[in-house]
Structure formats: structure tokens, C-alpha cells
């Protein structure tokens, strides 16, 4: 029986292609098949991974950031104002939506969450530039990244982000995605969400925003820390101009209108507290966290921030300081008191104080008191330079000791002369004082200014054998899921020689295991207390915001010595 059968006709591509290419085509088909199977497996794997995330979390209110003291006690006062305020889609000005689309995602209403066209364009551009210069994240992808804290830059994270974005688009309508996005993202300066941003920067609700204000807020999104108008107004204006330029290119507005909006002056609302800040210390901690966020590449919602603050020690300082100043006010029978009524926007006109306690080795801020009444004035006086007078003597003593000269606690001018102006200035800078410094002998009489924060670090440097600790308020940051995101590293830098630092402490008085120095300026406008104790290095200032004589120098120094004794006896 014959088994002969006619040969099957060659495939169409075999008839059209020369024989020498046939093997290459067969290999191409095989590779395409393998790639197809691989792609199907990737889609399946990431589709399963994406199902593990709760997509309903997108619509839920983001958790608040919680600040704790060093012992885990929450730093909050009942009745604090909520950081986030939710707005609905109907509250979003049309120009805000158009500006957002123009700047962040022009095809938002056309694509299915992933703009494949834009992604291919970005890939081509990055290959051309030889480095990563363009991304292709849509608003939907940014919302996913923000909600689920997907920050790691890797192929795995990008594929997971794409899979979650496709789920997002199936679950929510475009208007819902847009609204959730604007309610969730960070706008810098403590403003979380569009409503908080509108109130923080312009003291308006979202529907009241002008077109120019909408463009400025949209411009902040790409760099909320560096483009915040509170931190860098010129950069914020430049971002507004870029947003307006994109609107012109897209045909949303014409060039003439774009020019008019770009020419509008930016009128910011007075810097006021719109957050849940309840004290100078918490305000400073939020300020430090804000500076860390850009480095950590995370949003503030849901974080647990462990600060270095010691609430018990801070409370003691506040209590005794208030008692001391109230005693002085009774003696002087001043008309103004801490409870006086003041004009709106004016700084209170009564005796103020500020204090900082810094860990001697760690640099951790254990206490921070920026003023007498946070409800009356948000101005943080620990960052304000005031005349030092005799409080400058420890740094002159260190300079003298560094040159092998004797430390003369009761003869500051002679001690300064023995070291020389240049050496004294150099020593003060090594200890963390920024100046400016007079290059005359008036420097030896204390004609120099510094902030309480600088003085606390300078004092800690002398007590730490000449090693200057790095001051910080934040010890650890944990994410919403409990994962450790940040821990303050130990940091010290060289200061004066250890022997010079040790000898400089001779200018302090010993009292019950602590050392302290009290001084008032010759003008009697500023009084200082420097203390080295088990709680760290404390620098304390008393005075009026507008320099005014407080009381005779002997009484001021007596008041501060009594204050020190009460601290020691508790």
C-alpha cells in the first residue's frame, strides 16, 4: 500500500521570502510565542497581586499623622482642627480641573488609566537622552501610588502600579478619581488636599479660588516642598507660568489671557496655623517633618512620628518660667500682661521667653518653648537672635583655653583679649553660633547675638568634649502600615578641642550636680540662663519682642537664679 502523499504547499511567507530567511522567521515565531506566554504569566501574576489591595481605600479618608513624644505619648490637645477637609466634585472650579489636566495628564478623560501612547513617548525620550528624564504617570497612577505608598523605583513596583491602576479605573468613574486625587495629595506647608491648600495659601475655600490661584496650586504638585510659595515664592510663580503655558498650548486659553494671568501678583494669606499644631514644639516638629518628606519621598498621611521631646521636662520648664515672669510682672505692675487684649495681627506686648533643651551627645531636642502663649502668637522665638551679653563668656573661655591662656570668669574682657578677636569668633562658629560678629573688643563685652536654639547646641558642644551634636526633633517615622521609614542617624561634627571645651565650663556655677550661668545684657533688654544638667543643655531667654528694658540687672540675674534653684529642688 502506497504511503505517498503530496507535500503541503509552503506558507505564504515562505513563498515571498528567500529561503535563507526562513530559519530566522521560524525562530522569530517561536520567540514571539515564548514572549506571549511570558506576558500572559506577568499579567496573571500582577493581576493576582493587585487583588490583595483594598481598592476601597482610595475613597476612604486618609489617616492623620500622629506625633508622639519620646515616651510614646501623643502630642495633641483636644479640639485641634482637622488637617484635611474633603470637597466634592461640584466644588472644584472648572479652571482648576483644566489646569490639572494640562499640567499632569492631558488625556485623562480619554485613556483607561495607563496612557500607553505617553509611555512609549517617554521611553523613546529616555533612550534618546540616555537617562531617565521623563515619566508617564497619569493622575490615576499617581492616586494609586499615593494611596498605597508605592515609592520604590523598580520594574516590579511599576508593574504593580499599572495593575492597580487598571483596577482603579474599573471601580471608579473619572470624576471620582479626579476628586479623590485632589482631596488626597500634598500641597506643601502642611496643606493636605485642595481645600486645605486653598485655605493655607489664600484663606479661601476651593470654589472661591481665582484662575491664577488655581494655576499656582497645580504648579505646586510636582514639588510640594520646593515649590511652596511660603518657602520659595519665585519658584511657585515660575511653576504657575509653566502651567499657564501648557493651557495655551492645549488651546484652553489664548496667549493674551495667559499673559494676563501670569502678570497677576500672588497675594498670600497671612501665615496662620490651619493645622492641628498645639504648641511651639509640635509646630517645630511638623516643620522638620516637612523638610524630611521630600527626601523620604512619602506623603504625611497616616504616619506615626516619634519626636525627641520629653513632655515632663518641657512642662516643668514652662511652669517655672511662667511663675518667674509673673512674679516679675507683679513687682513692676506692668499694664500689659499675658492675658491682655491685642490688635489683630500684632505681636503681644508683654514679657516673653523662649527655651531649648538639647541632648548633650545626641543633639535631640528634649524641650522647645517658642514663646509665652501659643494662642496669642505663633512666632517661634527659639529661632530669633537676641543680644547675649555675659552669656557669650563660655565661648570666649573656650577660645582662651585653646590658646593656653587662663580662664577668667569674672574678667571677660581680659579673657577675650588673651584669645584675640579672630580666635573668639572662630571658636563661636565651631560651637554653632552663626553671628554676625563684631570684629572689635565690644565682642568681649557680649555685643553679639544668637538664638536660643544656637545657644543650646553651643552649650551641648562644650559639655560634649568639643563634639557638636546635630540638633533634631524627629527620632523615628513609621508608615501607616507600621513599617519603619526613617530613624535619625547619630551625627556629630568636630568643634573645639576637648581640653578647651572642658576648661570653658569653669565660667559656670555648680549647683546640686548641675552647672548654670545667668546673665543680663548691659541694656537690661535681654536676660539669659544657660544650664547643664541631667536633662541636657538648656538655653533660656527672657525679654520683650520689641527690645525694651525689663528690670535692673541684679534683679534679672536674681530671678533666674531663683528659677534654677526651683528646677533643682523638684
Q: Which residues of 407-444 are buried (b: 16+ CB within 10 A; e: fewer)?
A: bbeeebeebbbbbebebbbbbbebbbbeeebeeeeebb
The answer on 521 and 400 residing in a single domain is yes
Q: Is residue 521 part of a domain?
A: yes
Per-residue tens of pLDDT for the chain, all 570 residues: 555 566 566 665 556 666 666 566 666 666 665 556 655 675 667 677 778 888 888 888 767 788 999 999 888 643 333 456 789 999 999 999 999 999 999 999 999 888 888 777 766 665 665 554 455 689 999 998 888 877 666 777 888 888 889 999 999 999 999 999 999 888 987 788 999 999 989 999 999 999 999 999 999 998 887 898 988 899 999 999 999 999 999 999 999 999 999 999 999 988 654 333 348 998 899 889 888 876 776 766 678 999 999 999 999 999 999 999 999 888 876 544 443 433 333 444 789 999 999 999 999 999 999 998 876 777 899 999 999 999 999 999 999 999 999 999 889 999 999 999 999 999 999 999 998 898 888 999 989 999 999 999 999 999 999 999 999 999 999 987 788 989 999 999 999 999 999 999 999 998 777 999 999 999 999 999 999 998 899 999 999 999 999 999 999 999 999 998 888 876
**Domain limit, last residue, from 213, 242, 274:** 274
Per-residue confidence (pLDDT) for residue 146, from 0 to 100: 81
Q: Is residue 30 part of a domain?
A: no
Per-residue confidence (pLDDT) for residue 70, from 0 to 100: 94
Q: Is residue 322 part of a domain?
A: yes
How far apart (Å, rounded) are the C-alpha atoms in residues 368 and 472? 11
The answer on 560 and 460 residing in a single domain is yes
Per-residue confidence (pLDDT) for residue 64, from 0 to 100: 75
The answer on 265 and 131 residing in a single domain is yes
The answer on 328 and 259 residing in a single domain is no
End-to-end CA distance of the chain: 116
Instruction: Show the cell assigned to 178.
Output: 479626579
The answer on 521 and 419 residing in a single domain is yes
How far apart (Å, rounded) are the C-alpha atoms in residues 213 and 198? 8
Q: pTM here?
A: 0.68
Q: Is residue 308 part of a domain?
A: no
- The answer to whether the Cα torsion of 419, 422, 425, 429 is positive or negative is negative
How far apart (Å, rounded) are the C-alpha atoms in residues 336 and 340? 6
Instruction: Show the cell assigned to 556.
Output: 534679672
293 - beta bridge partners? none
The answer on 257 and 376 residing in a single domain is no
Closest-CA residue to 289 (of 276, 278, 304): 304
The answer on 193 and 337 residing in a single domain is no
Q: Which residues of 317-354 are buried (b: 16+ CB within 10 A; e: fewer)?
A: bbebbeebbeebbeeeeeeeeeeeeeeeeeebbbbbbb
Q: Is residue 13 part of a domain?
A: no
Contacts of 123 (CB under 8 A, 6+ apart): none
Asked if 157 and 200 count as a contact pair (C-beta separation under 8 A), the reply is no
For residue 226, give its domain range: 55-60+84-274
Number of domains making up the chain: 2
Q: Is residue 335 part of a domain?
A: yes
Per-residue confidence (pLDDT) for residue 306, from 0 to 100: 96
**Domain limit, last residue, from 226, 243, 274:** 274
The answer on 382 and 255 residing in a single domain is no
**Domain limit, last residue, from 274, 302, 336:** 274
Contacts of 445 (CB under 8 A, 6+ apart): 389, 412, 413, 522
Per-residue confidence (pLDDT) for residue 419, from 0 to 100: 94
The answer on 325 and 251 residing in a single domain is no
Q: Is residue 50 part of a domain?
A: no
Q: What is the CATH number of the domain that holds 408?
A: 3.40.710.10
Q: Map residue 355 onto helix, strand or coil.
A: strand
Q: What is the DSSP string of 121-190?
A: HHHHHHHHHTS-------HHHHHHHHHHT----SHHHHHHHHHHHHHHHHHS-HHHHHHHHHHHSB-STT
**Helices and strands, number each (H, E), in the chain:** 19, 14
Per-residue confidence (pLDDT) for residue 151, from 0 to 100: 64
How far apart (Å, rounded) are the C-alpha atoms in residues 515 and 533? 7
The answer on 355 and 259 residing in a single domain is no
The answer on 329 and 268 residing in a single domain is no
The answer on 322 and 250 residing in a single domain is no
Q: Is residue 155 part of a domain?
A: yes
Per-residue confidence (pLDDT) for residue 346, from 0 to 100: 42
Per-residue confidence (pLDDT) for residue 376, from 0 to 100: 72
- Read off the pLDDT of residues 400-430 as tens digits, 9 standing for 90 and up: 999 999 999 889 999 999 999 999 999 999 9
Per-residue confidence (pLDDT) for residue 505, from 0 to 100: 95
Q: What are the CA-CA distances from residue 517 to residues 15, 115, 531 (Å)?
A: 100, 66, 7
Q: What is the CATH number of the domain that holds 104?
A: 1.10.3810.10
Amino acid at each position: 500500500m502506497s504511503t505517498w502523499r503530496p507535500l503541503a504547499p509552503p506558507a505564504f511567507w515562505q513563498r515571498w521570502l528567500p529561503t535563507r530567511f526562513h530559519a530566522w522567521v521560524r525562530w522569530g515565531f517561536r520567540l514571539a510565542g515564548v514572549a506571549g506566554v511570558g506576558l500572559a504569566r506577568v499579567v496573571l501574576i500582577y493581576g493576582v497581586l493587585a487583588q490583595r489591595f483594598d481598592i476601597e481605600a482610595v475613597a476612604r479618608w486618609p489617616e492623620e499623622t500622629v506625633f508622639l513624644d519620646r515616651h510614646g505619648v501623643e502630642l495633641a490637645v483636644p479640639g485641634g482642627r482637622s488637617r484635611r477637609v474633603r470637597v466634592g466634585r461640584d466644588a472644584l472650579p472648572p479652571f482648576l480641573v483644566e489646569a490639572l489636566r494640562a499640567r499632569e495628564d492631558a488625556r485623562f478623560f480619554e485613556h483607561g488609566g495607563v496612557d500607553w501612547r505617553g509611555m512609549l513617548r517617554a521611553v523613546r525620550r529616555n533612550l534618546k537622552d540616555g537617562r531617565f528624564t521623563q515619566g508617564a504617570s497619569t493622575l490615576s497612577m499617581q492616586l494609586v501610588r499615593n494611596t498605597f505608598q508605592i515609592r520604590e523605583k523598580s520594574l516590579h513596583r511599576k508593574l504593580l502600579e499599572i495593575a492597580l491602576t487598571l483596577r482603579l479605573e474599573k471601580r471608579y468613574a473619572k470624576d471620582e478619581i479626579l476628586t479623590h486625587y485632589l482631596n488626597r495629595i500634598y500641597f506643601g506647608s502642611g496643606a493636605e488636599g485642595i481645600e486645605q491648600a486653598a485655605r493655607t495659601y489664600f484663606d479661601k475655600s476651593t470654589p472661591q479660588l481665582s484662575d491664577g490661584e488655581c494655576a499656582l496650586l497645580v504648579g505646586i504638585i510636582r514639588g510640594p516642598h520646593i515649590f511652596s510659595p511660603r518657602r520659595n515664592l519665585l519658584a511657585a510663580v515660575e511653576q504657575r507660568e509653566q502651567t499657564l503655558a501648557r493651557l495655551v498650548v492645549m488651546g484652553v486659553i489664548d496667549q493674551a489671557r495667559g499673559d494676563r494671568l501670569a502678570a497677576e501678583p500672588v497675594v498670600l494669606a497671612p501665615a496662620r496655623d490651619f493645622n492641628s499644631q498645639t504648641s511651639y514644639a509640635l509646630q517645630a516638629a511638623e516643620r522638620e517633618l516637612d523638610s524630611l518628606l521630600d527626601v523620604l519621598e512619602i506623603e504625611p498621611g497616616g504616619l506615626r512620628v516619634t519626636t525627641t521631646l520629653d513632655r515632663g521636662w518641657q512642662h516643668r520648664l514652662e511652669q517655672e518660667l511662667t511663675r518667674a515672669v509673673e512674679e516679675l510682672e507683679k513687682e513692676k505692675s506692668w499694664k500689659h500682661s499675658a492675658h491682655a487684649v491685642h490688635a489683630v495681627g500684632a505681636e503681644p506686648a508683654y514679657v516673653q521667653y523662649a527655651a531649648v533643651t538639647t541632648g548633650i551627645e545626641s543633639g535631640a531636642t528634649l524641650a522647645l518653648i517658642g514663646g509665652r502663649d501659643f494662642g496669642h502668637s505663633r512666632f517661634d522665638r527659639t529661632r530669633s537672635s537676641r543680644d547675649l551679653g555675659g552669656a557669650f563668656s563660655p565661648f570666649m573661655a573656650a577660645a582662651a583655653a585653646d590658646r593656653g591662656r587662663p580662664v577668667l570668669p569674672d574678667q571677660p574682657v581680659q579673657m577675650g583679649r588673651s584669645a584675640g578677636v579672630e580666635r573668639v569668633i572662630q571658636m563661636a562658629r565651631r560651637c554653632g553660633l552663626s553671628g554676625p560678629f563684631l570684629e572689635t573688643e565690644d565682642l568681649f563685652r557680649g555685643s553679639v547675638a544668637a538664638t536660643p536654639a544656637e545657644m543650646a547646641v553651643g552649650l551641648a558642644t562644650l559639655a560634649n568634649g568639643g563634639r557638636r551634636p546635630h540638633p533634631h526633633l524627629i527620632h523615628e517615622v513609621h508608615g501607616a502600615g507600621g513599617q519603619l521609614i526613617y530613624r535619625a542617624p547619630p551625627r556629630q561634627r568636630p568643634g573645639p578641642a576637648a581640653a578647651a571645651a572642658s576648661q570653658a565650663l569653669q565660667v559656670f556655677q555648680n549647683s546640686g550636680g548641675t552647672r548654670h550661668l545667668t546673665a543680663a545684657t548691659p541694656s537690661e533688654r535681654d536676660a539669659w540662663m544657660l544650664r547643664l544638667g541631667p536633662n541636657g543643655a538648656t538655653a533660656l531667654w527672657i525679654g520683650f519682642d520689641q527690645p525694651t528694658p525689663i528690670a535692673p540687672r541684679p534683679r534679672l540675674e536674681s530671678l533666674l537664679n531663683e528659677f534654677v534653684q526651683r528646677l533643682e529642688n523638684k
